[in-house]
Amino acid sequence: MADLFRRVKSGRGYDTHEVDDFFNRAQAVYEGRSSERMGPEAVRTAAFSQVKGGYDEPQVDGALDRLDNAFTRKQRAEFIAEHGQQAWLDKIVERATTLYDRLGRPDGKKFSPPERGQVGYDRIQVDALLHRLADYFNNGAALTSSDVRHAVFTPVRGRRGYAMGPVDAYLDRALEVILAAE
């Protein structure tokens, strides 16, 4: 079988067997040939081992982004077909509303710091992205799912950072809302 993605010539990349298996399963689910449950959340949380001579990570990550978008569009179309356009819009508004509380918190206080001795995300960088998110919701400012999906924060220790888990979970929810509206 031909490789789905380009392999790295030197160094490490994603395990080819794991990636091939995931994308083959995802295709079968998307096309309705499998009863396995898989949606955008499973795509967003997909993780692969790194091995010598594996698949090129940026190429696989780009394909995951496109797959996430495809599953989100399919999920939206199925929901609208069953419940109607207004129900979809109501659902988006409800999900967006769950994000507002944190957006209104003062800078440096939007999330808890990491546990003692743990690494977190730089508060200033996270707050800057949340300002962009608030501007998107409140004023229609430009912000894409890709902006949120590919946000990278400098790792820091102690009170200068936010705990990673809550930030990641929040940004996943924000990503769901943005994708639903795109």
Domain count, the chain: 2
pLDDT exceeds cutoff 70 at 2: no
pLDDT exceeds cutoff 50 at 1: no
Q: Give the Cα separation of 99 and 166 in Å (integer).
A: 12
The DSSP output letter for 112 is: P
In terms of domains, do 125 and 174 share one? Answer: yes
In terms of domains, do 101 and 167 share one? Answer: yes
Question: Which of 62, 81, 100 is the last residue before a domain boundary?
Answer: 81
Give the chain's radius of gyration (CA, Å): 18
Would 2 be classed as within a structural domain? no
In terms of domains, do 88 and 76 share one? Answer: no
User: What are the tokens at 125?
Assistant: 């960088």
Would 1 be classed as within a structural domain? no
In terms of domains, do 18 and 60 share one? Answer: yes
pLDDT in tens, 47-69: 999 999 999 999 999 899 899 88
On whether the CB atoms of residues 16 and 59 are closer than 8 A, the answer is no
In terms of domains, do 162 and 143 share one? Answer: yes
pLDDT exceeds cutoff 70 at 163: yes
In terms of domains, do 177 and 91 share one? Answer: yes
In terms of domains, do 103 and 169 share one? Answer: yes
Question: Which of 64, 81, 98 is the last residue before a domain boundary?
Answer: 81
pLDDT in tens, 106-144: 999 999 999 988 999 999 999 999 999 999 988 989 998
The whole model's pTM is what? 0.72
In terms of domains, do 77 and 89 share one? Answer: no
- Identify the domain containing residue 157 by its residue range: 84-181
